[in-house]
Chain A
Amino acid sequence: MRYSALSILKQALSGNRLWQPAWREPQPKPHYDVIIVGGGGHGLSTAYNLAKEFGITNVAVIEKGYIGSGNVGRNTTIIRSNYLLEGNNPFYEFSLKLWEGLERDFNYNAMVSQRGIVNLFHSDGQRDDYARRGNGMRMHGVDAELLDREQVRKMMPYLNFDHARFPILGGLYQKRAGTVRHDAVAWGYARGADQRGVDIIQHCEVTGIRRENGLVVGVETTKGFIGCNRLALAAAGNTTTVGRMADLDLPIETHVLQAFVSEGLKPVIDHVITYGAGHFYISQSDKGGLVFGAEIDFYSSYAQRGNLQTVEHTMEEGVSLIPGLSRAKVLRSWGGVMDMSMDGSPIIDRTPIDNLYLNCGWCYGGFKATPASGFCFAHLIAKNETHHVSRFMRLDRFERGYMIDEAGKGPQPNLH
């Protein structure tokens, strides 16, 4: 069923009895052209793009939990393309353009809201750095504006401008950035893929990758063996666990990142704000909750829950930036496990096994990449050819010396 104002009216007049589930719950077929391991945002987006853009519909997405239970539902919903480097910016800008047309494209209300992001700076050196980043963005044709202190004050009068140690001197503003309702992204892609014939198989864990003569022939799962011509891994957080089944050597460490939501408040923050003196970021959901987060927990972790030191640190950063936050109560917090790569950038590439493709290493910036990641990965799987905007995101870039180290932190995954 196509969703429209008319469909809502029809349902209303028939007492809402005719709604159908948004996707089927099929049993796995014995064989598929493509199997995607991981039914997160990227896996679903890949399946959707394979079917819609590249005409490959005999596809299964295998997910060990349920759709939306992983990182696609565990992030702070921010979309943006304010990157500096050549290897990143065109990719994330492609993603932002796809976000702008996404709801019409997959006929689902994902509540894409381009409310703008402001990255605050607190010293002259940081101003220079942000100006450089803004110039880099504009050279790539991306919108960026350097705001001074008074311009920021006009937009966000509630910030702590006269902080003794980290006064706010201004911000780098990207107007087209914003937020998206993350669950709806998973559901919209799942529905769109399912309508085009993709089987979404939930509660099915991959336990092994079967190979014959150096090629993948299928996967062992908790629902039995499923054959495939091509296998695509999009299991961020557990990439190493799945990759080990195919003997892949990976530049990945798994870490936990926490996020928080306050009680519902009246509209107060109508942008996305990032704190340049820490790593704190905040926006307000349409329901009124303040959605915020900060750094990862710094030690490697496969547990979807974090430690209290990071909770305390996040709250301190938040109150330091917005003193009024101290009056708000935190309603919920959660943790998600991330692939932290060695340069802070992702991998969309082939592997040493010819029919095995890899999508991983999103660190904690994967949500904004969901549309472009799916498009580029589908392009790679369908044509066995790298899409030009993801051409820097290679698995072998570390040994070749072509790191994409946006933050300049070096091979230290917990610092990216």
Chain B
Amino acid sequence: MASLITCPHCGTRPKEEFSIRGAAAPKRPSPAAKDEVWHRYVYIRDNPKGRILEYWHHVAGCRRWLVVDRDNFTHEVFGVMDASDFERARVVE
């Protein structure tokens, strides 16, 4: 049930320690991007059933932003990484 999350900095911790922001897939556009692009980023969601990347904040631990890779139907957790690593990997893509 995604009750335990393995934080890359703190180890396996209970869900209570985290605050969840939401989907990590939308990529922040440049400030100069058109309204339509910003609208998609802010409001439109893929909302897949199954595997999803989400921003979690380890508020009661290291206070780092994390990206949790999990299944939103079975609640299986596949992996957790620091959000800065996630963004860096995305830039390289």
Contact with A along B1-25 (1 / 0, CB 8 A): 1110000000000111001111100
Chain B residues contacting A252 (CB-CB under 8 Å) are: 45, 47
Q: Is B44 an interface residue (CB 8 A)?
A: yes
Chain B residues contacting A302 (CB-CB under 8 Å) are: 49, 72-73
Which listed residue (A238, A240, A241, A301) contacts B75, Cβ 8 A? A301
- Of the listed stretches A134-142, A151-159, A303-311, A351-359, chain B binds A303-311
A399 touches B35 (CB 8 A): yes
Chain B residues contacting A66 (CB-CB under 8 Å) are: none
The total number of A-B Cβ pairs within 8 Å is: 75
B23 touches A300 (CB 8 A): yes
Which listed residue (A241, A299, A398, A412) contacts B72, Cβ 8 A? A299
Chain A residues contacting B14 (CB-CB under 8 Å) are: 309
Which listed residue (A254, A308, A412) contacts B47, Cβ 8 A? A254
Q: In the assembled complex, how far is the CB of residue A412 from the closest CB belonging to chain B, in whole angstroms? A: 7
B3 touches A308 (CB 8 A): yes
Which listed residue (B20, B39, B40, B43) contacts A298, Cβ 8 A? B20
Also in contact, A250 and B47, with CB within 8 A (given A302-B73, A399-B36): yes
Q: How many chain B residues touch the partner (CB < 8 A)? A: 30
Of all chain A residues, the one with the shortest Cβ separation from B47 is A240
A251 touches B44 (CB 8 A): yes
B22 touches A308 (CB 8 A): no
**With the chains together, A252 CA to B23 CA distance in Å?**
11
**With the chains together, A12 CA to B3 CA distance in Å?**
53
Q: In the assembled complex, how far is the CB of residue B47 from the closest CB belonging to chain A, in whole angstroms? A: 4
Which listed residue (A238, A250, A307, A308) contacts B45, Cβ 8 A? A250
A249 touches B44 (CB 8 A): yes
Q: Is B42 an interface residue (CB 8 A)?
A: yes
Chain A residues contacting B36 (CB-CB under 8 Å) are: 399
Range, interface on chain A: 20 to 34
B1 touches A253 (CB 8 A): no
B47 touches A300 (CB 8 A): yes
Chain A residues contacting B49 (CB-CB under 8 Å) are: 238, 240-241, 254, 302
Which listed residue (B19, B44, B54) contacts A250, Cβ 8 A? B44
B15 touches A309 (CB 8 A): yes
Chain A residues contacting B39 (CB-CB under 8 Å) are: 398-399
Q: Is B74 an interface residue (CB 8 A)?
A: yes
Chain A residues contacting B73 (CB-CB under 8 Å) are: 301-303
Chain B residues contacting A298 (CB-CB under 8 Å) are: 19-20
**With the chains together, A411 CA to B3 CA distance in Å?**
26
Which listed residue (A251, A309, A414) contacts B22, Cβ 8 A? A414
Also in contact, A300 and B22, with CB within 8 A (given A308-B1, A309-B3): yes
Q: In the assembled complex, how far is the CB of residue A338 from the closest CB belonging to chain B, in whole angstroms? A: 12
Of all chain A residues, the one with the shortest Cβ separation from B44 is A249
A307 touches B52 (CB 8 A): no
Q: Is A413 an interface residue (CB 8 A)?
A: yes
Of all chain B residues, the one with the shortest Cβ separation from A413 is B22
**With the chains together, A411 CA to B40 CA distance in Å?**
12
A342 touches B43 (CB 8 A): yes
**With the chains together, A253 CA to B42 CA distance in Å?**
12
B43 touches A399 (CB 8 A): yes
Of all chain A residues, the one with the shortest Cβ separation from B14 is A309
Q: In the complex, which residues 369-412 of chain A have their Cβ closer than 8 Å to any Cβ of chain B?
A: 398-399, 411-412
**With the chains together, A308 CA to B2 CA distance in Å?**
10
**With the chains together, A253 CA to B49 CA distance in Å?**
10
Contact with B along A337-364 (1 / 0, CB 8 A): 0000010000000000000000000000
B22 touches A307 (CB 8 A): no
**With the chains together, A302 CA to B52 CA distance in Å?**
11
Also in contact, A300 and B54, with CB within 8 A (given A250-B47, A309-B3): yes
Contacts A241-B49, A251-B44, A253-B47 given; 16 further ones with Cβ under 8 A? A240-B46, A240-B47, A240-B49, A251-B45, A252-B47, A254-B49, A298-B19, A299-B70, A300-B22, A301-B75, A302-B73, A307-B3, A308-B3, A309-B15, A399-B35, A411-B42
A-B contacts, 13 of them at CB < 8 A, read A252-B47, A253-B45, A253-B47, A254-B72, A298-B20, A299-B54, A299-B72, A301-B75, A307-B1, A309-B16, A398-B39, A399-B43, A413-B45
Q: Which 6 A-B pairs have the closest CB atoms?
A: A240-B47, A398-B43, A251-B43, A399-B39, A307-B1, A302-B49
